[in-house]
Structure formats: structure tokens, C-alpha cells
Structure 1
Amino acid sequence: MLHYNRITFVKQESMSTSPSTRPCRTLVTGATGFTGRYLVEKLLGRGHVVIETVGGRSEPETPTRRRLDITSPDECRRVIEAVRPDYIVHLAAISFVGHSDALDFYRVNVIGTLNLLEACAAVGHTPRKLLIASSANVYGNVTSDAIDESFPVTPVNHYAASKAAMETIVRTWFDRLPILIVRPFNYTGRGQASNFLVPKIVGHFARREPSIELGNIDVARDFSDVRYVASAYEALLDSDAAGETVNVCTGTPYTLRDILSKASDLTGHQLDVRVNPAFVRQTDVKMLAGSPAKLRSLVPAVEAIPFMDTLRWMLAA
């Protein structure tokens, strides 16, 4: 079992702002991605000045938008030196398990994260907190319906292996920077790319298509709503937790078969489901459901959104 020691760093001031304090400056990598857009909206609502990073070389830089190639140590140092943020939320990653170039997982997810930490040290900047997104995929195939943070890490694909390697490196920085690692389980919502399963299913029902091709529809996942995940990240930034790892999940698994049934109930439409062997990966994790007990103890005010409500929201888009 893995056990993490909790390290408490003294918070200099609250995330909430008042006329006598300057707004918090929060750097968000991957800010224009699926999760980042929801988190940025929440942070702006709290009065933060959010500095987003973007990967395109042609993107113009502004006081709140910086170009950043996370795989470049020089670029990371340049951005950290220029921004010197109060908080850093690191979301930038290769996150699609079926991504075609295996090496990209390690270049971006492992080396990119290390570059960001080393940049803070190189320019002598210690944020109040760094929240770094890992993934529950690091647990691999676990025969439990309530995986907590003490379970061993046994990744079964390149995405999970890259996140596990990233976590190993990040933990060596726990005594130098106030870092919190989050392990989100599967989550979905409006704006997620259609190559992810739930948006694919929702799109087929919304368009009332006659059939859909899927892989194994009996794999089970602990699906959350992206709005819940963003709320959890925001609340964890404002918590005292540092030097540890936290699951972000609901504790309730659903199979793709369940989702198909629920979407059919909501729309009154039936899909002919065809299993395409090309979509069945031997490294697929069969069951992935987490224990949200630690998350609830740290941020008890954050409430999960029922998955039926998430589906209804996505179908109404």
C-alpha cells in the first residue's frame, strides 16, 4: 500500500479577496481544455486574475494569456518568472488513452510537469499551492468498488504509466513546494471531445442515429460531472491540504450499458449497439470506482452532481 504524509504549508492569505488585498493570480496550464474552461470560469467568479497558458506559437500573448510549450524548460522558466503566480493549477496533459504516439504521454505528462516544478525552483518562486492533475487510471485493474488513495499504483497503459511516473517525480518535491496531487476518476460534460465515450453516446442519441459502434459496454466507471470536478479543484486550492494525493470521484460506478439505457430513457430513442472489436483494448480497465471519503473530509461543502442530471444537461446542449 502507498501512504502519503500530509505536509501543511502556512497560507499567507485567503483565496477570497477584499478591497484591501490584491486579487490572487492563478496560472492554469491547459486552461483552454475541457476541464480548464470550467475551472477558469469558477476562479474568475471568485475574483482571481487567471493567467491561461496556450500551446500555439501563433497565439498572441496578453497579460492574462501566455504561450507555453510545457516540454520546454526555458519556456516554463520564462512564464513562471513573468507571472509569479499565487497559485498554479497544472491541467495540461495528453489525456486520451488511445493517443497514437506513446512517447507523447511521457514528454508532456512526465517531463512537462517536471519542467514546471524545476522552473519554480530556478526562478526562486514558491506559490501558495500547486494543484497537479493526475488520473485514477494509475490504479489499473483493481477488484474493488471503492478504491481509496492507499491502493497500490498498477498502471496498464501508457497514459496511466505516464501519470504514475509523473506522481513519483512530483512526490520528491513535496518537501520543497506546497503540492496537492488530484486523481480524478472519469468525468464528462458539455464540451468534451467526441472521441470520449459519453459524448459519443450522447451525440448519437441527440442526433437520433439508428446505431452506434462501441467496444466493451460492460466496463464500469465512476463518472463525475465536469462542473463537480472544477468545484472540487477550486475548493482544494483553498484548503490546507498539501503534500498528499486526493481522489476526485463520486463513488458510484456506471457501465456503458447503464449509460445507454439512461440516455434511451431520457430521449425515448433506441440505438442498435454494435460491438466493434477494433474498439476493444486488451489493456482496458474493467472496473474503476473510487472512494470520495478523503475528498469529502477536505472539502465537505462540494456536492456531487447526479449522473442522470449530467446526461440530461449534455443532451439539452
Structure 2
Amino acid sequence: MALQSKDRTVLITGLSGFTGKHLAQSLTKAGWRVAGLGGERLACEFDHLDADLNDTARLSGWIKQVQPTHVIHLAALAHVTSSDALSYYRVNVLGTESLLNAIKEAEVVVEKIIIASSANIYGNAISSPISESSEPQPVNHYALSKLTMEALVRKWFSRMPILVVRPFNYTGPGQSESFVFSKIVGAFARGEKELRLGNLDVSRDLSDVGFVVEAYSRLLTSNQRGEFINICSGRSISLLSVIDEMEQIAGYRPTITVDPAFVRDDEVKELYGSPAKLFDVVGEINVPSLHDTLLSMYQQKARV
């Protein structure tokens, strides 16, 4: 028998992050009970724990108390420019293993566990669009830690109903300006005369956080398990086209300066994927236009 919304309890790690906040609000509106791990407590949570992912015993006790029917693991060290290589593996690899051990030790029966990996594992792919069978070519410790995490999670496929998702780039209101697309919108919203960026000759599969949230929500109740699924729009958007669109929205164009401090030697030039498998599993999902996404971000920043 399918669970009714009132019976659904989802545990979201990294809940107070950019994606987690949007996802928690969406699932709450859909009738889910939401419990969060890490960072600040949100108003929509019925329970919350701020603890180290690697504190397995503490996690297990809390999970036993919460009794989640579903889990979405978003918590990760995500910024690809960090110089602390060990922290990527401690959080992204060992932290994920600790969470799965905690679920096992709590002896809760979960319907689905979604674990967020990253499209960064593909690196400079030989051809695009990138499918789930494309050969991984990670070019930094963030990407390599995610690929290592995937290898570790495979051994759990026979024991738990796990889906691993590989999100490509996405943005939206509330994203930190440590991410380039939010940084660009913020500069335009503040009317800055100069915009200092790194590599300009890059293109990404850029979608909207609302698209990603919808994908996660549908995958939560899908029948698939033991699979890897791209979360992407299938469109390649250049950094310069984002700047051009923002010029139309804001009515001016700042001076664009390439700052060597922001230039990465291992920059991935183009990364866009195929959403065919995702759409085959959950059906078509509308991808908001670049204009609509950037406009929503611009309006939110202008109000702050």
C-alpha cells in the first residue's frame, strides 16, 4: 500500500543549505513531515539535529527517534576550490558511510534513500550530452571524493533502497555568491560597475533549483533503486550568455575583468547532460527559462 502524505517522514541532511531549504519548503507544502540534519533549524521542521555526520552513534539514536520513511542526503563539502583535500573525503565519503551505518543501526525501514553525488565526476567529458554511462574523469578533489563516495555506496545497493543522483549546475534565489551565477546576478542587482570573474569561456548545463526540487520529490516515490541518475536540463548555457541576459534585465552592462585569482587550471570548459533517464523514470519536468530564473534571483537580491 502506498504511503499517504501524512505518513511520510523525510530526513534531509544539509537541510539548511541552498537546495535543502527549497526542498524542505516544497515537501512540507506537499504534506511531508520534515526532519533536518545540520545547520540552522527551519520553521517547517518537526525535529532537528546539528551533529557531525561522522558521529554515527549520535546519528543512529536520533534516526531511531525520528523514524524516517525516506532520506535525502544533501550534506557535503561542495566548494570545488577548497585547499583542504582531506576534508572532502572526511565529509563526502566517510560522512556518507556513517549516515548509512546509522540508518542500519537504528533499525528503521526506509522506502527510499536519495544520495546526492555530482556531475563534476564527469570532468572534461569526451562528448556531450553526457549520459550516466559516460566515463568519469574527475579533475579535482571535490569531484574525486564524490566518485569515491559512489563506489562506496554501491556496496549498499543490495541492502538499502538507494538512488544516487548526479546534479549538474543549477541556481536560484538564495544561492550563495560563492557560486558564479549568483555572484553575477548579485553584482547586477547592486549596480556594480566592474565584475571580476575567472574563466569566461565556459558553458554549463544550468537549470533552476525548482526543477531540481521537483526531480528529487518525484524520485522519492519512484520504484527505482540501485541506480545513478543525472539531474540536468540537457541545455548548454555559456557564462557570457548569462551576462548578456542580465544586461537585458538590469538595463546596463558592467566592465567584465578576468581576475587571475579566480582562474582555475583544471577548469571544465563545457558540461551538459542528458536528462533522458530522469524523464524516463519520473516523466517530463518543465525547465524554467534562463530569463525567468535570473529574473527571480535579481528580484530577490534587489529586495534584500
TM-score, scaled to structure 1: 0.90
Q: CA deviation at 1:179?
A: 0.2
The alignment status of 1:276 with 2:265, answered yes or no, reads: no
Question: How many angstroms apart in 1 are the aligned matches of 2:187 and 2:60?
Answer: 44
Aligned partner of 1:34 in structure 2 is 18
Aligned partner of 2:215 in structure 1 is 232
Aligned partner of 2:109 in structure 1 is 126
Work out whether residues 80 and 119 of structure 1, in 8 Å CA contact, stay in contact via their aligned partners in 2.
yes
Quick one: structure 1 residues 290 and 275, their matched pair in 2 at CA, closer, same or farther if it must change by over 3 Å? same
Structure 2 unmatched ranges of 5 or more: none
Structure 1 unmatched ranges of 5 or more: 1-11
Aligned partner of 1:148 in structure 2 is 131
Q: Deviations over 1:120-154 (max 9, x none)?
A: 22232231000000100000111323000001111
Q: CA deviation at 1:23?
A: 2.4
Aligned partner of 2:244 in structure 1 is 261
Partner AA of 2:104 in structure 1 = A
Q: CA deviation at 1:302?
A: 2.3
Question: How many angstroms apart in 2 are the aligned matches of 1:137 and 1:79?
Answer: 32
The alignment status of 1:212 with 2:195, answered yes or no, reads: yes
Question: How many angstroms apart in 2 are the aligned matches of 1:248 and 1:50?
Answer: 22
Work out whether residues 33 and 46 of structure 2, in 8 Å CA contact, stay in contact via their aligned partners in 1.
no
Q: Deviations over 1:199-221 (max 9, x none)?
A: 11001111111111101111111
Q: What are the equivalent positions in structure 2 for 1:299-314 lying under 5 Å apart?
A: 299-314=282-297
Q: CA deviation at 1:225?
A: 0.4
Identity %: 43
| Alignment size in residue pairs | 298
Partner AA of 1:13 in structure 2 = A
Q: What are the equivalent positions in structure 2 for 1:231-250 lying under 5 Å apart?
A: 231-250=214-233
Partner AA of 1:282 in structure 2 = D
Question: How many angstroms apart in 2 are the aligned matches of 1:252 and 1:81?
Answer: 42
Aligned partner of 1:44 in structure 2 is 28
SS in 1 for 2:7: coil
Q: CA deviation at 1:67?
A: 2.4
2:37 to 35, 50, 53: 53
Q: CA deviation at 1:268?
A: 1.4
Partner AA of 1:217 in structure 2 = L
Question: How many angstroms apart in 2 are the aligned matches of 1:143 and 1:173?
Answer: 30
Q: CA deviation at 1:55?
A: 4.3
Question: How many angstroms apart in 2 are the aligned matches of 1:73 and 1:30?
Answer: 16
Aligned partner of 1:99 in structure 2 is 82
Question: How many angstroms apart in 1 are the aligned matches of 2:250 and 2:128?
Answer: 29
Work out whether residues 91 and 133 of structure 1, in 8 Å CA contact, stay in contact via their aligned partners in 2.
yes
Work out whether residues 54 and 99 of structure 2, in 8 Å CA contact, stay in contact via their aligned partners in 1.
no
Question: How many angstroms apart in 1 are the aligned matches of 2:290 and 2:232?
Answer: 12
Q: CA deviation at 1:54?
A: 2.1
SS in 2 for 1:116: helix
Aligned partner of 1:3 in structure 2 is none
Partner AA of 1:37 in structure 2 = K
Instruction: Give the ranges of 4+ consecutive aligned residues of structure 1 lying more than 4 Å apart after TM superposition.
Output: none
SS in 2 for 1:103: helix
Q: CA deviation at 1:63?
A: 4.6
SS in 2 for 1:152: coil
Question: How many angstroms apart in 2 are the aligned matches of 1:246 and 1:130?
Answer: 13
Whichever structure has more helix as a proportion of its residues is: 2
Relative contact order, CA 8 A, sep 6+: which one is greater? 1
Structure 1 vs Structure 2 CA RMSD: 1.6
Partner AA of 2:230 in structure 1 = N
Aligned partner of 2:158 in structure 1 is 175
